[in-house]
A and B are shown apart, each in its own frame.
Chain A
Amino acid sequence: MSGDEIPGERIEEKVSLLRKDAESGGYFLNPDAGFVRQLARGLCINEKRYGYPSCPCRLAVGRREEDRDIICPCDYRDADLGEFGACYCALYVSPSVAQGKSPPVPVPERRPPRSERVSMTTRTGKMIDVPLPVWRCRVCGYLCARDTPPLVCPICKASKDRFERFM
Chain B
Amino acid sequence: MTEMVRVNGRNRGDIRLYALSTCGWCAKTKELLNSLGVEYSYVFVDLLAQKELEDALREVEKFNPAGSFPTLVINGSRVIVGFREAEIREALQ
Contact = CB atoms under 8 A, between A and B. Distances in A.
B23 interface: yes
Where chain A touches its partner, the secondary structure class is loop
B75 interface: no
A9 B67 CA distance: 33
Given A59-B69, A108-B82, A4 B21 contact: yes
Contacts of A20: none
Contacts of B61: 113-114
A35 B25 CA distance: 9
A133 to B, nearest CB: 33
Interface in B9-55: 20-27, 45-47, 49, 53
Interface residues of B, number: 24
Interface in B76-93: 81-84
Interface stretch (A10-18, A38-46, A120-128, A146-154): A38-46
A1 B83 CA distance: 25
Where chain B touches its partner, the secondary structure class is loop
B74 interface: no
20 contacts: A1-B49, A35-B24, A39-B24, A41-B22, A42-B20, A56-B20, A56-B22, A57-B24, A57-B26, A58-B68, A59-B45, A59-B53, A59-B57, A59-B69, A89-B23, A90-B25, A109-B68, A109-B81, A113-B67, A114-B61
Interface of B: 20-27, 45-47, 49, 53, 57, 61, 65-69, 81-84
